[in-house]
Chains A and B, each alone.
Chain A
Amino acid sequence: MQFELKHIAYGLLTLFIVLNYGLILQGIMPKIAARVGRRYGIRWYQPYIDIIKNHAKRSKITHGVMYYLGPVFRLSGGIGLLMFMPVIFGSPIFGNFSFAGDLTLVLYFQFFGVLGMALGAGESGHPHSAIGVSRGLSQVTALELPLTLGVISIAMQYGTLRIADIVAAQQGGIMNWTIFTNPFAGAALMLSFLGSMGRAPFDVVLAPQEIPIGPPTEYHSGFLGVLQLNRAIFPVAKLILFMNLLYGGATSWPELFIKTFFIYLWSVFVGVAFPRFRVDQSVRWFLGVPLLFGIIAILLI
């Protein structure tokens, strides 16, 4: 498609809607968990106030150039993942910059943010950051295996590397969704989705009881504000990716909100029911059942 200046405006509009949705989702999920635990819970607009407060801090400490660039890499990973995916199928405004072959680009952008964070956290020199970064990177590497196998299987099934075509092939009823026509790839993708959401049982990277906050230990004030913005955008972009690949995409915003909310609830349900894995246990788990599902998915196509 041709590139015109109005596409930048459309991209910013998509970004704005997704940012607000991510912040509200970040506020509502702890509220649901608190109501289940018979508490009032935090307010639903609390993430907004946290970001304003962090940017309103008057002083900063810097550890060097890479320390500055760490959050920038992470935020650009999140925004990049969002921009190269069709958010609303069939809409010229919210179709973003999708092109043929963007499935591989999306897989690359998932890993890019974590690597940038690792470099930044390493420069901060804190030993807790280094431990958290090594744990996080080994977990992400382990979960990329079933993810990639499932994605390749879906691409072979539909014969295209373009997400918009994959979504187009799933229209026309619920039984056309990939999760029903290619269940093994769907299972592999949903299991690796649990790991990338950062909830139990795979939250050893950031759990406060394990290690004081892991990679973002030394990040504060404005840097932490940028990281929190990314924390709102990146999960929603991943949810939209999974929705496009497995659940038939969305043709309107309310349908997108409903579908992504329920996919997020899948990780929350698993998270409240299971305890935490150690890093070697989670790596071993990812190389077990999900990898098996991915291999079967490739063999059956």
Chain B
Amino acid sequence: MSKSDLEKRTVMSPDGEPIEINPLQDYFCDARPKVHEPVLPIFEKFLNWARSESLWVLGFGTGCGAIEMRPLMTPRFDAYRFGIQWRPTPRQSSVFIISGYLSVKTLKRVIRSYEQMQNPKFVIALGSCTINGGMYWDSYNTIKRLDHYLPVDVYIAGCMPRPEAILAGFEKLKELIRQGKGEGANLYAQNFDWYKANQKKIIKDWDMPDYNW
């Protein structure tokens, strides 16, 4: 589908009459995200333990931090013994690592992938560019504060953090999940309008549905 197919236009229907179509509105569903409450506390403790021991990370390297994720798969740092696996599809993964700077073009794709992940999901922000813009603090094309666009659970500071620091960040994330504070997806659903307004302010050619489930 090219860009010109997504605009409002008038086409001929099979009956021979001209009709107005608006593809962005007609083809895409306009459901909003729902808040999924946790279950009974005693079950939730056990389920949170299981979620923390098996973290499946989406293999999408968004910035220059992607090169710091690769050593974790090698024998020297070996993240597999902590239960961390890399999955290629957002449907099956529960952790999204935003590694490094995030340009406006990548943010659109990141939002599309993030919204396809299932509840509960967690976001780890790597590097100082996600905290306050880092090295690109006066750039016209990168975002400065990640938590105005996505709910973030753990920030790992550094430019780039060493693999030991990333493993310590995963340990912190596991503690947060076990305490029951890994509710980023519910936060996103509750403040959906605010996040969406921030995202639409900088992504000017919005040709996706509002919520890409």
Q: Contact residues of A with B, CB < 8 Å?
A: 30, 34, 37-43, 46, 49-50, 52-53, 56-61, 208, 212-213, 216-221, 224
Contact mask for chain B residues 57-81; partner A; CB cutoff 8 A; 1 contact, 0 none: 0010000000000000001001011
**Shortest Cβ distance from residue A163 to the other chain B in the assembled complex, whole angstroms:** 37
Instruction: Give me 13 other A-B pairs in contact (C-beta within 8 A), A58-B118, A216-B92 excluded.
Output: A39-B78, A39-B81, A40-B80, A43-B83, A52-B54, A57-B118, A58-B38, A59-B34, A213-B88, A217-B89, A218-B91, A219-B92, A220-B91
Give A158 Cβ to nearest chain B Cβ, in Å: 45
Instruction: Report chain A residues within 8 Å CB of B120.
Output: 57-58
User: B59 contacts which chain A residues (CB < 8 A)?
Assistant: 208
CA distance A219 to B90 in the complex (A): 10
Q: Measured between alpha carbons, how far is A24 from B87 in the docked complex, in Å?
A: 21
Taken together as a complex, chains A and B put the C-alpha atoms of A293 and B118 apart, in Å, by: 49
Q: How far is the CA of A271 from the CA of B83 in the complex (A)?
A: 24
Q: Which residues of B contact A37 (CB under 8 A)?
A: 75
Chain B residues, CB < 8 A from A224: 92
In the complex, residue of chain B having the shortest beta-carbon distance to the beta carbon of A48: B50
Shortest CB-to-CB span from B153 to chain A, Å, is 16
Question: Would you call B54 and A212 a contact (CB within 8 A)?
Answer: no
| Of B51, B54, B75, B213, most A-chain CB atoms within 10 Å | B54
Some 18 contacts from A to B, beta carbons below 8 A apart, are A30-B80, A34-B78, A38-B75, A39-B78, A39-B80, A41-B80, A42-B83, A43-B81, A56-B50, A57-B118, A59-B119, A61-B91, A212-B88, A213-B89, A218-B89, A219-B92, A220-B91, A220-B92
Residues of A within 8 A of B81 (CB): 39-43
In the complex, chain B residues whose CB is within 8 Å of the CB of A221: 118
A59 and B87 within 8 A (CB): no
Residues of B within 8 A of A212 (CB): 88-89
CA distance A60 to B116 in the complex (A): 10
Chain B: how many interface residues by the 8 Å CB criterion? 24
Using known A-B contacts A40-B78, A60-B118, determine if residue A46 contacts B88 with beta carbons closer than 8 Å: no
Question: A34 → chain B, closest Cβ, in Å?
Answer: 7
Chain A proximity of B172: nearest CB distance (Å): 19
Closest 9 CB pairs of A and B: A212-B88, A58-B36, A220-B91, A39-B75, A52-B50, A59-B119, A56-B47, A40-B81, A58-B119
Q: Which A residues touch B75, using CB under 8 A? A: 37-39
Distance between Cα atoms of A42 and B84 in the complex (Å): 9
A201 to B159, CA, bound (A): 40
| Distance (whole angstroms) from the CB of A117 to the closest CB of chain B | 16
Who on chain B is nearest to A45 by CB?
A: B53
**Nearest CB of B to A125, in Å:** 12
Q: Which of A42, A61, A213 contacts B213 (CB 8 A)?
A: A61
Identify which of residues 115-153 in chain B touch chain A, using a CB-to-CB cut-off of 8 Å: 118-120
**A265 CB → nearest B CB, Å:** 21
Question: Within 8 Å CB of B50, what residues of A?
Answer: 49, 52-53, 56
- What CA separation (Å) do A56 and B91 show in the bound complex? 14
The closest CB in chain B to the CB of A59 belongs to B119
Give 1 or 0 for each of B95-130: 1 = CB within 8 Å of chain A CB: 000000000000000000000001110000000000
CB nearest to B78 among chain A residues:
A39
A284 to B89, CA, bound (A): 31
Q: Are A50 and B54 in contact (CB under 8 A)?
A: yes
Within 8 A of A (CB), among B29-64: 34, 36, 38, 47, 50-51, 53-54, 59
Q: Which residue, of B38, B50, B83, B91, has the highest number of chain A Cβ atoms within 10 A?
A: B91
**Min distance, Cβ B47 to any Cβ of chain A, angstroms:** 4
**Distance, CA A53 to CA B55, complexed state (A):** 9
A43 CA to B50 CA in the complex, in Å?
A: 13
* B87:A213 contact, CB within 8 angstroms: yes
- From B36, B53, B54, B88, A59 is in contact (CB under 8 Å) with B36
Write out, one digit per residue, whether chain B residues 12-30 have a CB within 8 A of any chain A CB (1) or not (0).
0000000000000000000
B47 adjacent to A42 (CB under 8 Å): no
CB proximity of B197 to chain A, nearest CB, Å? 24
